Structure 1
Amino acid sequence: MSVTHAYEQMLFHPRWYHYPVILLLLPLSILYGSWMLFRRIFARKKDFGIPIVSIGNLIVGGSGKTPFVIALASRYSDVAVISRGYGRKSNGLVEVSRRGKILVPVEQSGDEALLMALSLPGASVIVSEDRHEAIALATGQGAKLIILDDGFNRVEIEKFEILLEPEQINNPFPFPSGPFREFSFSKKYADLVLKEKEDFERIVSYEDLTEKMVLVTAISNPQRLDPYLPAGVIGKVYLEDHAYFEKEMLEKILKEYDAQSLLVTEKDYVKMTNFKLPVSKTKLKLKIKNEIFEKIDRYIKARH
């Protein structure tokens, strides 16, 4: 087990032997959480004059933000999705897609941003460390709605805040002792706090399954895939979150496990489309309560 995956186990699935480390790091967690709370309380918010909906979470790792953004953005026209572009090999502002036309490869966009662009043929997707610059570009190109991917910590932007919570949280502490980006009570600053299995649920489907598959994935907290794995998975290979794949490495994994195909997520697949290898895919969509969309619609209409 790599150091990264051992640390992720402490964050998401702590065992008794993790707690001495958790307690040792707790003073740093309190300092970090206090700083994040301070900046949230005293932030001066900028109103960009356009409805902005933020999809975020309080914990590191996946909580369904990307499929939620896709589900939400697909309901509107003239929408721009803005993300930081984690894992990309570029810097600054990059247009990933413009009204559905893909403009850059995955190395420049990052895996999640390209997945959103491919899934949203009517939307524009922009990645930038500077969200203000990206919002200005999107509005200049005629966007009527901005969706901020992972935007809860952008406390200086006036927006409608949606927080997604996983079904279960096993470690209640802020980083580095736990997975929380802020103190857990900071969720009171959100307009909507949506809990998995109560307000939304995952719908998993599969494509091109084989009898013998090896799971290869580069996502945070990969054990969260376990409840959704189909029959036929004979091995699991975990890479660092957002890691890129090499064809030779994947060929070696197929041979080592004597597998008929690689089982990957859609986020992984966008980084191996040119390899011409046998691939099986897990596809994730969210079933979201209609009243959630109605509340978002009311905010958007009030802002226009």
Structure 2
Amino acid sequence: MRLDQAYEYLLFSPKWYHLPFIVLMLPFSIIYGAFMWLRRAVSSPKDFGISIVSVGNLIVGGSGKTPFTISLASRLDDVTIISRGYGRKSKGLVEVSCKGKILASVEQSGDEPMLMALSLPKASVIVSEDRHQAIRMAKENGAKLIILDDGFNRVEIKKFEIILEPEKIKNVLPFPAGPFREFWFTKYYADMVVKEGRDFTRVVEIDEPQSKMLLVTAIANPQRLDKYLPKEVVQKVYLKDHDYFDEGEIRKVMDDCGADSILCTSKDRVKMEGFDLPISELKLKLNIEDDIIKKIQSYIQSSL
């Protein structure tokens, strides 16, 4: 097991033998959590003169922000999504798409922004470390609404905060002793806390399933996929979150385990463009309750 995989187990599903490390890291977690809380408490958010909705979470790694953002943006008009673009091989501001027209490669955009760009033919996507610069570009391009991907920690920006409440997690400590980016109670700073089963539901389908499939994925905490995997998965290959894939290495593993196809998530699939391999895709769609959409639309109207 790789070191990063072992650490993910410690963060999300700690065992009794992880306790010494957690106790050792506890003072650092408290200091880090206190700093993040103080930073939030003294912030003075800047109003950019445009409706901004942030979709974020409190834990490191994935929690469904990307499919939630896609589902939300598909039901709103004149949307520009702004993301940092984790895992991309570029720097600075990159316009990934403009009203559905793809303007960058996945290496320039990162996997999640490219997935959003391909999934939203009426929206625009921008990646930038400097969110302020990206917001200004979105306004210049005529956006009426900005969705800030993973924006809860951007406390200097005035926005409507949506937090995705994670599934039950045993370890509720802040980093580095736990998976939380801030103290768990900072979720109450959000305008809306949404939860699966109450505010949205997941629909998971497999496109082009085969009798023997090799799971290949580069997402955080990949064990969360287990409950959606069919019995036809004969082996699993986990890479680090946002990693890129080597076609030759995947083919070798497929031959070794006798798999008929790769099984990957939609986020992984965008990085396999041009691969001469049979691919089965684990597609995830979120259905957001109408009441949630109405509350967001109400915010948009009130901020005009």
The reply to whether residue 138 of structure 1 matches residue 138 of structure 2 is yes
Code of the residue aligned with 2:98 in structure 1: it is R
Q: Which residue does 2:152 correspond to in 1? A: 152
Alpha-carbon distance in structure 1 between the residues aligned to 2:101 and 2:23: 49
Alpha-carbon distance in structure 1 between the residues aligned to 2:166 and 2:187: 13
For residue 34 of structure 1, give the secondary structure of its aligned residue in structure 2.
Answer: helix
Contact 2:72–2:288 (CA<8 Å) still a contact in 1? no
Contact 1:62–1:220 (CA<8 Å) still a contact in 2? yes
Alpha-carbon distance in structure 2 between the residues aligned to 1:290 and 1:78: 19
Q: Which residue does 2:211 correspond to in 1? A: 211
Q: Which residue does 2:117 correspond to in 1? A: 117
Code of the residue aligned with 2:299 in structure 1: it is Y
For 1:225-278, what per-residue CA distance to the aligned partner results, in whole angstroms no more than 9, with x for missing partners?
000012300011100010000111111111111100000000000001111210
For 1:110-137, what per-residue CA distance to the aligned partner results, in whole angstroms no more than 9, with x for missing partners?
0000000000001110000110000000
Alpha-carbon distance in structure 1 between the residues aligned to 2:142 and 2:190: 27
Code of the residue aligned with 2:136 in structure 1: it is A
State the number of aligned residues.
304
Alpha-carbon distance in structure 1 between the residues aligned to 2:198 and 2:75: 22
Code of the residue aligned with 1:279 in structure 2: it is I
Alignment of 1:213-292 (within 5 A): 213-292=213-292
Alpha-carbon distance in structure 2 between the residues aligned to 1:288 and 1:78: 19
Which runs of at least 4 in structure 1 moved beyond 4 Å after TM superposition? none
Code of the residue aligned with 1:27 in structure 2: it is P
Deviating more after overlay: 164-173 vs 52-61: 164-173
Contact 2:261–2:280 (CA<8 Å) still a contact in 1? yes
Code of the residue aligned with 1:269 in structure 2: it is R
Contact 1:167–1:197 (CA<8 Å) still a contact in 2? no
Q: Which residue does 1:4 correspond to in 2? A: 4
Contact 1:93–1:127 (CA<8 Å) still a contact in 2? yes
For residue 53 of structure 2, give the secondary structure of its aligned residue in structure 1.
Answer: strand
Code of the residue aligned with 1:264 in structure 2: it is C
- Listed as ranges, the gaps of 5+ residues in structure 1 are none
Question: What is the CA-CA distance between 1:77 and the residue it aligns to?
Answer: 2.2
Q: Which residue does 1:72 correspond to in 2? A: 72
Question: What is the CA-CA distance between 1:197 and the residue it aligns to?
Answer: 2.0
TM-score (norm 1): 0.99
Alpha-carbon distance in structure 2 between the residues aligned to 1:241 and 1:37: 27
For 1:4-40, what per-residue CA distance to the aligned partner results, in whole angstroms no more than 9, with x for missing partners?
0000000011111111101100111011111101110
Identity across the alignment (%): 63
Deviating more after overlay: 249-258 vs 173-182: 249-258
Contact 1:199–1:288 (CA<8 Å) still a contact in 2? yes
Q: Which residue does 1:39 correspond to in 2? A: 39
Question: What is the CA-CA distance between 1:184 and the residue it aligns to?
Answer: 0.5
Question: What is the CA-CA distance between 1:198 and the residue it aligns to?
Answer: 2.1
Alpha-carbon distance in structure 2 between the residues aligned to 1:129 and 1:91: 8
Question: What is the CA-CA distance between 1:167 and the residue it aligns to?
Answer: 2.4
Alpha-carbon distance in structure 2 between the residues aligned to 1:211 and 1:169: 33
Code of the residue aligned with 1:50 in structure 2: it is I
Contact 1:83–1:128 (CA<8 Å) still a contact in 2? yes
Code of the residue aligned with 2:300 in structure 1: it is I
For 1:48-75, what per-residue CA distance to the aligned partner results, in whole angstroms no more than 9, with x for missing partners?
1111000000011211100110011111
Q: Which residue does 1:55 correspond to in 2? A: 55
